[in-house]
Amino acid sequence: MTKIPLFNIADRTIKEKDKKYKYADDWNIGISLASYGRDDASIPFHGRNLLVNKRNASISDGSLEIKYNNSEKGMGQDFVINKKPAGSGDLKLTLHINTPLEFTAGGNGISFASASSKTEMNYDAMKIHDSAGKTVQGKIVKENDSTVAICVKDSAARYPVTIDPLSNTPSWSITGKNSSDDLGDLLGYSVSTAGDVNGDGYSDVIVGVPGYFNYTGKVYVYYGGPTGLSSTASWAQIGWY
């Protein structure tokens, strides 16, 4: 959604001429599995029929199945490799990336950012396990501007092996500033919904800073709105914990 209302959409008394909007940048990301196997024996992925059941979907070519689950956490994706591929070296899944965004890859994830360095989506939190539930070591490597590889050390793994990354977009975040209010004061040690404090129809969030001023303690309230939570505290209170 690129046209975001800056007014209470539940308030039907607002005239059309008084409605104001914020326009967000449009972006898209395409991630497709090109092949899997090993460097000396790569297998193209030939899955064709996507099966959809409510929040779940799957596609398979018989040897490898991709499962999707759409939840509040993001779009979960499982690569399930049913049989150990032939060849030598690590198991390797080659992903093609198609996006106007800049992306970096390494460790257990990929991060996509706009030209202004704003993070638009993360493809991360990758977990790998075998059929015995044992954790299998692996990493994501950027090969070039359009290709990423998931490399898995599967020599001791029992198949099927499942690779589980998650696509998600940050809904809201705040960062402690280099000031007496936040530096080393445990900003965000406790976080909770505050209900609708200001009565505008949107939920608000309360954030604790227990270490503020030699553990005097402080709390912030961030008001919600049609574009999400404010990045600046709308209310603060100092008090003894």
H or E element that contains 149: strand 147-152
User: For 39-85, what is each residue's pLDDT tens digit?
Assistant: 888 999 999 899 999 999 999 999 999 999 988 777 889 999 999 99
Q: Give the tens place of pLDDT for each residue, 135-170.
A: 999 999 999 999 999 999 999 999 999 999 876 666
Backbone angles phi and psi of 57, in degrees to 5: -150, 160
**Cis status, amide bond into 160, omega within 30 of 0:** yes
Predicted TM-score (pTM) of the model is 0.65
CB 38 within 8 A of CB 85: yes
How far is the C-alpha of 168 from the C-alpha of 164, rounded, in Å? Answer: 13
